[in-house]
């Protein structure tokens, strides 16, 4: 039984990563990390500059992670329904979606931090 599941198209990277991304975003949103010394949370050089940047980065990354998780789940299920076997293109699409989703999560979160904070970690006030 397990062997047939592992060889089915429903066993793909996009579905597993989609579930993981959604759960990660949900947990960080529901239980935000208290400090940069927490064992979980969105951690980068920019996000750990100040406590305000840490809070803001984790809040935004949790939101984006849930969105990416839903898109990955939809991609994985669509690929499972379209492809009849785990062909090369099946793996390119499902793994490529995971890589693109991860790059989007990191890139968009870092861009959001640079838009709202200066190089010293102080919030930029809108004019």
What pLDDT, on a 0 to 100 scale, did the predictor assign at position 9? 80
Question: Does the structure show a pLDDT above 80 at 1?
Answer: no
- Please tell me the predicted confidence (pLDDT) of residue 2: 65
Number of CB atoms found within 10 A of residue 8's CB: 12
The model's pTM is: 0.89
Indicate the pLDDT class of residue 125, thresholds 50, 70 and 90.
Answer: confident
Domain ranges for the chain, please list them: 2-116
The per-residue pLDDT for range 26-66, each reduced to its tens digit, is 999 999 999 999 999 999 999 999 999 999 999 999 999 99
Is the pLDDT at 110 greater than 90? The verdict is yes
Dump pLDDT digits (tens) for 2-21.
Answer: 667 667 788 889 999 999 99
- 66 membership: H or E segment, kind and range: helix 51-82
Residue 55, pLDDT score: 96
Torsion of CA 66, 72, 75, 80, to 10 degrees: -120
Eight-class DSSP state of 117: B
* 15 contact partners, CB below 8 Å, separation of at least 6: 72, 73, 76, 77, 80, 94
């Amino acid at each position: 039984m397990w062997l047939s599941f592992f060889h089915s198209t429903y066993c793909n990277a996009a579905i597993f990563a989609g579930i993981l991304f959604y759960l990660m975003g949900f947990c960080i949103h529901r239980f935000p990390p208290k400090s940069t010394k927490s064992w979980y949370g969105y951690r980068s050089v920019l996000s750990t500059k100040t406590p305000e940047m840490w809070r803001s980065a984790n809040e935004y990354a949790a939101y984006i992670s849930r969105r990416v998780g839903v898109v990955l789940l939809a991609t994985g299920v669509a690929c499972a329904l379209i492809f009849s076997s785990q062909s090369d293109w099946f793996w390119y699409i499902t793994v490529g979606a995971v890589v693109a989703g991860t790059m989007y999560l990191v890139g968009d979160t870092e861009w959001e931090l640079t838009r709202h904070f200066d190089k010293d970690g102080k919030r930029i006030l809108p004019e």
